[in-house]
């Protein structure tokens, strides 16, 4: 399938890599078909590109990279909607926002996107009654991550 993207131009995406949202991402009604675009220079980030609107692409990443304690609960209805047979086949991504000041970069931990890699069905969850926010500033997590890595290096050097 050839898709058009304002950011990337024309891209050929295999049909089996097209991701189908059970419901649109909040605020983007009508858009239910996406693909993940991996770019080595952006690792561990991906682009979640709409195949229906060339102007819509979200920067996403797996929150466990910076937030190792990030946990979400998936109820039986969500498991059924995604047709999950193996929980390990479900990957979690969160949308990242990068404003003019990169120190203000944030991750939406309250609205994760779950993708079942076995069938490419996806769904955005809205976590209610959780401590997660729409804007978790990533600089804080990055600094914490660097401090923990520094502690580990010091222990190894002992």
pLDDT tens by residue, the chain, 158 residues: 999 999 999 999 999 999 999 999 999 999 999 999 998 998 999 999 999 999 999 999 999 999 999 999 889 999 999 999 988 999 999 999 999 998 899 999 999 999 999 999 999 999 998 999 999 998 876 665 555 545 545 555 54
pLDDT at 56: 97
- Domain range summary for the chain, segments of one domain joined by +: 2-156
Would you state the pLDDT for residue 102?
A: 86
Question: pTM for the whole thing?
Answer: 0.86
Strands 2-5 and 9-12: what pairing?
antiparallel
Q: Regarding the domain delimited by 2-156, which CATH topology (the fold level of the hierarchy) does it fall under? A: BH3618-like (2.30.290)
* pLDDT on residue 149: 47
The sign of the torsion formed by the CA atoms of 39, 41, 43, 48 equals negative
Q: What is the DSSP string of 24-75?
A: PPTT-TT--EEEEEE-GGGTT-EEEEESS-TT-EEEEE-GGGT-TT------
């Amino acid at each position: 399938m050839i898709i058009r993207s304002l950011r990337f131009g024309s891209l050929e995406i295999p049909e089996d890599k097209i991701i189908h949202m059970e419901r649109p991402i909040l605020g983007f009604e009508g858009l239910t078909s996406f693909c993940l675009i991996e770019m080595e220079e952006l690792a561990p980030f991906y682009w979640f590109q709409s195949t229906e609107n060339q102007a819509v692409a979200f920067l996403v990443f797996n929150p466990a990279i910076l937030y190792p304690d990030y946990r979400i609960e998936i109820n039986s209805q969500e498991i059924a909607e995604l047709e999950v047979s193996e929980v390990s086949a479900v990957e979690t991504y969160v949308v990242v926002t990068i404003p003019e000041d990169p120190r203000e970069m944030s991750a939406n931990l309250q609205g994760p996107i779950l993708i079942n890699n076995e069938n490419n069905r996806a769904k955005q969850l809205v976590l209610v009654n959780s401590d997660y926010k729409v804007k978790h500033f990533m600089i804080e997590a990055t600094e914490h991550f660097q401090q923990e890595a520094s502690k580990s290096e010091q222990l190894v050097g002992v």
